[in-house]
Structure 1
């Protein structure tokens, strides 16, 4: 009610106020009322004078200040340092085991179905139309994106609120190479995972030294900075200051601002729907296999040790910071790969690929599928993408989608895959616990 005369009401009003309140609490220090008060005063002053001094900074000023505070004082202005200890209580996890024969058979059947879908499209176009291929491409893109987040969130216990920075950052890296260097598809495509890895390597150096909510909020701050960088076309603004223009004298736009970068398509050999389908499915499955191998290697067990008992892991000589940093960079690379597949499937990229909503989509996919299973992000991403498409043809699709997600979360608190390991799931013979952990 107090905010209404100032800015009116809109659909994002609750989200914006909630995000601002969360930032104030984190900057002030968790558990410190006086810290939250002084942080609110600080942000009020900065917002008031920031509009007059640096009008373009208002979109990111709050998150920039939060990033600086958390880097130099990780527990906030008046908060207390966190004490490392054991993992928080919760349901015990099944140990990671190689996939059982039944799981391998089901996985092989799913892979065969994906491979044969374009063949069915050629011979039965009425039953399997082009839209089915488009939907599967989108599902596989977000399966890869969600799996990249789960790579650090599940085994590593690092909950990222800003993973869209590496998804969108990788996509922008490839798009900029195509637009300004006239790079071929084959070269620009691989710039995306490299760009995502470099961005995660840079941001991760600061983030992995934090834990819990402070880690999550610092990832969110960096993601918002990256979003503002693209949305406000900051590189283009710098070029315009120095009077740099194109051959026609028109001021250069680098990221394109809100208009994004358009008309970016794969090479001729990969431009057909079926060819790009096989590229997306092949790279996504290969990336999932590589991440799985990482987590079954000593590196993956080291991440779990650091998550479950950091003091004991450090006592036996494990460099937790280095392992978490490397995992963060690997996760960013796979998120960037998902961004490249998304870019060339749509032919364009916009700042929305970097915004908070995209990060929360990935987080929701992991939680919906089940964070305690390597299969969780696969089922969660497939379910959420399919539900999004299913309800989008209806007038009140956002309401129906929200109600459905709430129902799934309440009915399946351990996620879709976790339900198969419950007593009811075992009675229905959906899966055995050892298969869930595979």
Structure 2
């Protein structure tokens, strides 16, 4: 979700197929571990590398368009990746997937893998934040808000957006690699449209205008999903209605609502 926010919030590029990079990262880590017998560090590097390379190709296609056309092209690219994962049985295992993707010691234990996940997640989020407030991040915002003016000031808009696509894909690959090791298996469903929709909901739910939005949105979405799964038979329909209501009532997301509440309290405290 954080990598999708980097693409949508900073770059203004809506991607409907971001889960493809998540799944490619998962397959990259799984194949490196099971087929190539690489050490865990190399496997975790293979995940963003594979996803980043896919992002370079997808970005080269997608940044030529904008708006809904870019979104639909990203969806088409993701569908190609999903179909490939089903049909390239010799590499991906097809429907059967890749099994036995377990991390070796000292990360085989739950506590060891949890620590690894926390460290890598924190490093990834910190890296995205640094990139967002770097000259590249401001160039990406300029390309989003005023592309012609950005070009006139010397910013290569298409190259900047292309780089952002590759960066977002690579960080989605990191998440995919960790997810594969946590589950111990990889299947084509990791690249499915439903996964992309989940990530999109997390971004919109948390708020697209804040860097903390996708993090808060991910926790909120996960909490809602877990609560409804345990208590309602038609939980997906109910979850959709709840999310739709939240987006309509608070279009700026949870962070937008919290920001307004904090602003009101600060104003009332200052006037008092």
Output the TM-score relative to the length of structure 2.
0.94
Instruction: State how far apart, in whole Å, the 2-side matches of 1:185 and 1:393 are.
Output: 35
**Alignment match, 1:205:** 60
Secondary structure at the counterpart of residue 17 of structure 2: coil
**Alignment match, 1:366:** 203
**Alignment match, 1:259:** 96
**Alignment match, 1:191:** 46
Instruction: State how far apart, in whole Å, the 2-side matches of 1:188 and 1:289 are.
Output: 21
Q: Higher relative contact order at CA 8 Å, sep ≥6: structure 1 or structure 2? A: 2
- Give matches, 1:54-69, under 5 Å: none
Instruction: State how far apart, in whole Å, the 2-side matches of 1:428 and 1:223 are.
Output: 44
- What's the offset of the Cα at 1:425? 5.2
- What's the offset of the Cα at 1:403? 2.4
Instruction: State how far apart, in whole Å, the 2-side matches of 1:396 and 1:342 are.
Output: 26
Instruction: State how far apart, in whole Å, the 1-side matches of 2:265 and 2:244 are.
Output: 23
Instruction: Tell me if 1:410 matches 2:248.
Output: yes
**Alignment match, 1:148:** 3
- What's the offset of the Cα at 1:406? 1.9
**Alignment match, 2:235:** 397
Instruction: State how far apart, in whole Å, the 1-side matches of 2:150 and 2:41 are.
Output: 42
Instruction: State how far apart, in whole Å, the 1-side matches of 2:154 and 2:36 are.
Output: 46
Instruction: Tell me if 1:353 matches 2:190.
Output: yes
Instruction: State how far apart, in whole Å, the 2-side matches of 1:399 and 1:317 are.
Output: 48
- What's the offset of the Cα at 1:180? 2.0
- What's the offset of the Cα at 1:282? 1.1
Instruction: State how far apart, in whole Å, the 2-side matches of 1:280 and 1:390 are.
Output: 24
Instruction: Tell me if 1:319 matches 2:174.
Output: no
- Which protein is richer in helix relative to its size? 2
Instruction: State how far apart, in whole Å, the 2-side matches of 1:220 and 1:403 are.
Output: 24
Q: Pick one of 262, 280, 300 that aligns with 2:117.
A: 280
Instruction: Tell me if 1:231 matches 2:68.
Output: no
* RMSD, aligned α-carbons: 1.5
Unpaired runs of at least 5, structure 1: 1-145, 237-252, 430-438
Aligned length: 266
Q: Are the equivalent residues in 1 in contact too, given 2:26–2:179 (CA < 8 A)?
A: yes
Structure (1 or 2) with the larger CA radius of gyration: 1
